[in-house]
Structure 1
Amino acid sequence: MFGSTPSGANAYAKVGVETGVTSASPHKLIVMLFEGAMVAVASGIQHMQAGDIAKKGMAISKAISIIDNGLRASLDKKVGGDIALNLDALYEYMSNRLLIANLKNQPKILEEVYQLLKGLKDAWQTITPPAEQQAQAQPPMQAEPKAHAYDPLAPQQSRLVKA
């Protein structure tokens, strides 16, 4: 009647991811793309070792899609200069290696790509934009209470008379 628990958990996880994406900074979105690609590659390794060809292909295709349509697409080659061009070449290399790993069932290639993604993600995480540094350093501002507003949950002064 209400569906299975795994589908409910998946729906809940999807909402959590979507909420994270909509509230994330561009810097955090790149980290999320690295993490998603890494999960897909790790899943591809597991499915390859288990002999599940269909799931292996889907996981590797997902990793390629994240790299090509997420990470590569986010590069601004005009502003990024040599760094952006080198990253573009590295992303292309990773996509090609994933394709070869899928065709030839070579988990070592998947592990190579996983390590490349992990290294890039770790490096990216060490670079925190100034706006995020400031947000992390300062606690969120709280609204000032109104001067004469009545708050029934606020502590009240005792009316007891001391003897």
Structure 2
Amino acid sequence: MSTNALKAYRQTRIKTASQGRLIVMLYDEGLKQLQSARDELNGTHPNLETVHNAIIKAQNIITELMVSLDFEKGGDIAGNLFNLYMFFNQTLSEANISKQTSGIVQVYDLMTELRDAWKSIEGTNDMLDKADVGGINLAG
């Protein structure tokens, strides 16, 4: 598949995804970046720039999840998610400085649990876009 066709496919997939699916896609990409950073650090000769870039990408995704929270509709759930995302970013900042995998693994494990929860909600509720689930609004 050509680069342009692949890019067009990805853009269409994002534009046509439900709000719940977009959240799962963000988690999936964040987890992919954390796995990349962890794998690189566990290699025999880790490229620290690759590790840094993967952690930064994961933090950008977490920040996107954070700013999409709707505190009016989400109440305590949105507040708890915000605090958790802040913890993720702080832990990843420390991991990026120390180049230790423990913080990456900790965030990865917690994000996996959240991703699985969103995936189960997305899979059982076709009306997710209309629901007040977790106070997340990706519409802007």
TM range (shorter): 0.7 to 0.9
CA shift at 1:48, angstroms? 1.9
- Determine the structure 1 residue equivalent to 2:18: 25
Q: TM-score, normalised by structure 1?
A: 0.70
- Determine the structure 2 residue equivalent to 1:45: 38
Q: Which has the higher helix share?
A: 2
Q: Per the alignment, do residues 114 and 130 of structure 1 end up closer, same or farther by CA in structure 2, a change over 3 Å counting? A: same
- Determine the structure 2 residue equivalent to 1:94: 88
Q: Per the alignment, do residues 93 and 9 of structure 1 end up closer, same or farther by CA in structure 2, a change over 3 Å counting? A: farther
Q: Per the alignment, do residues 11 and 131 of structure 1 end up closer, same or farther by CA in structure 2, a change over 3 Å counting? A: same
Q: Per the alignment, do residues 98 and 12 of structure 1 end up closer, same or farther by CA in structure 2, a change over 3 Å counting? A: farther
Q: 1:122 aligns with which of 84, 97, 116?
A: 116
Percent pairwise identity: 33
CA RMSD in angstroms comes to 1.7
The correspondence of residues 122-141 of structure 1 with structure 2, limited to 5 A, is: 122-128=116-122, 129-131=125-127
Aligned residue pairs total 124
Q: Which sits farther off after the overlay, 18-27 or 84-93?
A: 18-27
Q: Which sits farther off after the overlay, 123-132 or 49-58?
A: 123-132
What is the distance in 1 between the residues matched to 2:39 and 2:8?
26
- 1:14 corresponds to 2:7: yes
Structure 1 unpaired stretches of 5+: 1-7, 133-163
Secondary structure, in 3 states, of the residue corresponding to 1:38? helix
What is the distance in 2 between the residues matched to 1:80 and 1:39?
27
What is the distance in 2 between the residues matched to 1:106 and 1:52?
13
Task: Answer with 1 or 2: which has the greater Rg.
Answer: 1
Q: TM-score, normalised by structure 2?
A: 0.81
Q: Per the alignment, do residues 38 and 101 of structure 1 end up closer, same or farther by CA in structure 2, a change over 3 Å counting? A: same
Secondary structure, in 3 states, of the residue corresponding to 2:68? coil
CA shift at 1:131, angstroms? 2.6
